[in-house]
């Protein structure tokens, strides 16, 4: 009953000065909405980064072959060999899969009347066991296609859009470096690395696009999937040893011949980076709310000064210090709670509105973080108490005799 009475008096008092109350609430409202929107945008980019890493494969390292390597003052050419994949898989027990692929950029033409450069990757069907591929239509190439080395391809969504105007069909032809290739699969748009390439069997690529007849064009890479995260460092050293022995490269020259990328480590660094950015934005939001709290404190002090005579009269009629303190504290908490609730609703609404907009390539829809909502609610409670306790304490300590003399 006491709480109900205090809240009713608090709402009555705030309503009597609604303009002042509204302006004070706006500071709290905008602070909460801003932190939700900013964190949601960063969280969206973080989700896109995680999706990109998943598309590249979990628990994997990449061995990127350089065109040349140095041994002292001498420079030697280096050729990638798909047979290296089989050797690594057989030689290193901590490895579950090894997939070779050759990548290059070359001219292409689909049904649209112009040529452009696009990316091509030659690999094995085992790549689908490491990376995330989702087909919109058709199928991926299989071991039989690899054995035949036939001119069959799977195209990413970006290739479909750029060369076919998003109207590619199974059986259509894409000319790559002037040669026709039949489309057997079309990937669903995922906004990651896989979208931007044409995928074909590595044997097809060797037959038609790379090799000695074309001066060994293309960049050769091995993707190695490790059984367990704690074995990544050991696998990297073993891979260097095996490849150095196979290609006759001195141990001191291995680092100039192969660039090894630890995708697990890169993913962890990216997660830490985004976590830091998120907490920076949260901190900015907390500081904004503290500024709003100063506004609430100021308004409550003004209210105490304006109602000094009322406080004295209530005390003379028997109101306790506790009831006075609770009333003014309730008013501060009410301003904070209503402003915070409206800020949360506004922030969520704007985030959902942004998510429905046609975002361009490279932009991703923001993602609302439940933890940000909880942080906002906790900070709101603290802000309400901090903003209201000093004015409420001053109101409770008003001397009723002095207060009744106040005009």
In this predicted model, what pLDDT tens digit does every residue of 147-199 receive, in sequence order?
998 899 999 998 999 999 999 999 999 999 889 999 999 998 877 778 889 99
Please list, residue by residue across 15-41, b when 16 or more beta carbons sit within 10 angstroms of its beta carbon and e when fewer do: eeeeeebeebbebbbbbbbbbbbbbbb
Q: Are residues 22 and 100 in the same domain?
A: no
Q: Are residues 166 and 240 in the same domain?
A: yes
Residue 362 lies in a domain: yes
**pLDDT range class, residue 396, cuts 50, 70, 90:** low
Measure the CA–CA gap between 95 and 232, rounded to whole angstroms.
9
Residue 63 lies in a domain: no
Alpha-carbon distances, residue 280 vs 38, 202, 276, 287, 402 (angstroms): 10, 46, 6, 11, 48
Q: Are residues 226 and 93 in the same domain?
A: yes
Answer yes or no: are the C-beta atoms of 388 and 333 closer than 8 Å.
yes
Alpha-carbon distances, residue 332 vs 89, 297, 399, 401 (angstroms): 67, 8, 22, 26
Q: Are residues 112 and 175 in the same domain?
A: yes
Answer yes or no: are the C-beta atoms of 311 and 13 closer than 8 Å.
no
Q: Which two tokens stand for residue 217?
A: 């064009």
Q: Are residues 90 and 237 in the same domain?
A: yes
Q: Are residues 115 and 8 in the same domain?
A: no
**pLDDT range class, residue 211, cuts 50, 70, 90:** low
Please tell me the total count of domains within the chain: 2
Mean pLDDT calculated for residue range 16-44:
77
Measure the CA–CA gap between 75 and 80, rounded to whole angstroms.
16
Q: Are residues 85 and 219 in the same domain?
A: yes
Alpha-carbon distances, residue 109 vs 135, 170, 175, 232, 378 (angstroms): 22, 16, 5, 41, 57
Q: Are residues 119 and 235 in the same domain?
A: yes
Answer yes or no: are the C-beta atoms of 200 and 153 closer than 8 Å.
yes
Run of H or E including 272? helix 263-306
Q: Which two tokens stand for residue 398?
A: 């008003």
Measure the CA–CA gap between 274 and 270, rounded to whole angstroms.
6
User: Three-class SS of residue 192?
Assistant: coil
Q: Are residues 186 and 333 in the same domain?
A: no
Q: Are residues 274 and 225 in the same domain?
A: no
Q: Are residues 32 and 105 in the same domain?
A: no
> Taking the mean position of all CA atoms in its chain, how far away is CA 25?
32
Residue 253 lies in a domain: no
Length of the chain as a residue count = 407
Please list, residue by residue across 185-209, b when 16 or more beta carbons sit within 10 angstroms of its beta carbon and e when fewer do: bbbebbbbebbbbbbbbbbbbbbbb
Q: Are residues 202 and 330 in the same domain?
A: no
Residue 210 lies in a domain: yes
Q: What tens digit of pLDDT does each residue of 9-26 get?
A: 555 555 556 666 777 777
Residue 128 lies in a domain: yes
* Per-residue pLDDT at 2: 45
Q: What tens digit of pLDDT does each residue of 114-156 get?
A: 888 889 999 999 888 888 888 999 999 999 999 998 899 999 9
Residue 254 lies in a domain: no
Residue 68 lies in a domain: no
Expressed as residue numbers, the domain containing 353 is 2-53+269-405
Most confident region among 33-47, 87-101, 223-237, 312-326 by mean pLDDT = 87-101
Mean pLDDT across the chain, nearest whole number?
79
Phi, psi of 19 (to 5 degrees): -65, -50
Residue finishing a domain among 248, 282, 313: 248
Mean pLDDT calculated for residue range 358-385:
73
Answer yes or no: are the C-beta atoms of 226 and 88 closer than 8 Å.
no
C-alpha gyration radius of the chain? 33
Tokens 């949360």 identify what position?
344
Residue 15 lies in a domain: yes
Tokens 């989700």 identify what position?
47
């Amino acid at each position: 009953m006491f709480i109900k009475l205090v809240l009713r008096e608090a709402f009555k008092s705030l309503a009597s000065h609604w303009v002042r109350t509204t302006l004070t609430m706006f500071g709290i409202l905008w602070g909460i909405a801003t932190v939700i929107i900013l964190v949601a945008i960063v969280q969206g980019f973080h989700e896109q980064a995680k999706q990109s890493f998943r598309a590249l494969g979990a628990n994997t390292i990449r061995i990127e072959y350089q065109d040349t390597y140095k041994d002292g003052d001498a420079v030697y050419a280096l050729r990638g060999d798909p047979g290296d994949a089989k050797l690594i898989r057989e030689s290193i027990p901590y490895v579950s899969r090894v997939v070779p692929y050759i990548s290059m950029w070359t001219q292409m033409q689909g049904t649209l009347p112009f040529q452009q450069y696009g990316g091509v990757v030659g690999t094995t069907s085992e790549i689908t066991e490491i990376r995330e591929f989702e087909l919109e239509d058709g199928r991926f190439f299989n071991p039989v296609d690899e054995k035949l080395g036939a001119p069959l391809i799977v195209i990413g969504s970006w290739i479909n859009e750029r060369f076919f105007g998003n109207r590619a069909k199974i059986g259509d032809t894409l000319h790559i470096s002037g040669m026709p290739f039949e489309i057997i699969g079309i990937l669903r748009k995922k906004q990651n690395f896989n979208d931007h390439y044409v995928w074909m069997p590595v044997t097809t690529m060797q037959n038609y696009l790379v090799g000695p007849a074309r001066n060994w064009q293309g960049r050769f890479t091995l993707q190695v999937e490790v059984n367990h995260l704690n074995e990544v460092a050991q696998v990297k050293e073993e891979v260097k040893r095996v490849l150095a022995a196979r290609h006759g490269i001195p141990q001191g020259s291995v680092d100039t011949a192969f660039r090894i990328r630890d995708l697990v480590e890169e993913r962890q660094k990216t997660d830490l980076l985004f976590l830091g950015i998120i907490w920076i934005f949260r901190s900015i939001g907390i500081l904004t709310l503290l500024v709003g709290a100063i506004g609430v404190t100021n308004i409550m002090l003004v209210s105490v000064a304006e109602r000094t005579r009322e406080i004295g009269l209530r005390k003379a009629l028997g109101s306790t210090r506790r009831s006075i303190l609770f009333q003014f504290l309730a008013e501060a908490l009410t301003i904070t709670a209503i402003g915070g609730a409206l800020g949360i609703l506004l922030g969520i609404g704007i985030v959902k509105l942004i998510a429905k907009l046609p975002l361009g390539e490279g932009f991703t829809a923001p993602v609302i973080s439940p933890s940000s909502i909880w942080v906002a609610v906790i900070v709101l409670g603290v802000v309400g108490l901090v903003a209201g306790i000093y004015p409420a304490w001053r109101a409770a300590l008003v001397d009723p005799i002095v207060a009744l003399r106040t005009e």
